Amino acid sequence: MKRSVSALLVLVLILSGGILFAGGQGEKVYPSREIELMVPWSVGGSTDIVFRSLLMVLPKYLKAPVIVVNRPGASWSALCPV
């Protein structure tokens, strides 16, 4: 029992130490390029108008240019390829 508790404690310490020291490696400025907002409907529809109205507000909060990309008929897997 003592051995499993001490092994679990060591594992937690190792994992937490890795998380603490991993933050300083390879920091990059986010975002490094413009953000593409993909809309799976055609241009001119009501959904497209809603997303384009967001373009007035999003760059202010994201601090990066935002581009709307329409892909009619796209499924979720087409928008977020693995």
Sign of CA dihedral 28, 29, 31, 34: negative
* 2-11, 14-23, 38-47: least confident range: 14-23
Q: What is the rounded distance in angstroms from the CA atom of residue 82 to the CA atom of residue 78?
A: 9
**The pLDDT value given to residue 40:** 82
Q: Which residues contact 78 (CB under 8 A, 6 or more apart)?
A: 40, 71
Tokens of 27: 């920091």
**The pLDDT value given to residue 18:** 58
Q: What is the rounded distance in angstroms from the CA atom of residue 59 to the CA atom of residue 50?
A: 15
- Beta strands per DSSP E along the chain: 35-39, 66-70
**The CATH number of the domain covering residues in 2-79:** 3.40.190.150
**Mean pLDDT on 39-46:** 85
> Percent of the chain scored above 90 by pLDDT?
0
- pTM of the predicted protein model: 0.51
User: Tens of pLDDT along 14-34?
Assistant: 666 655 555 555 667 777 788
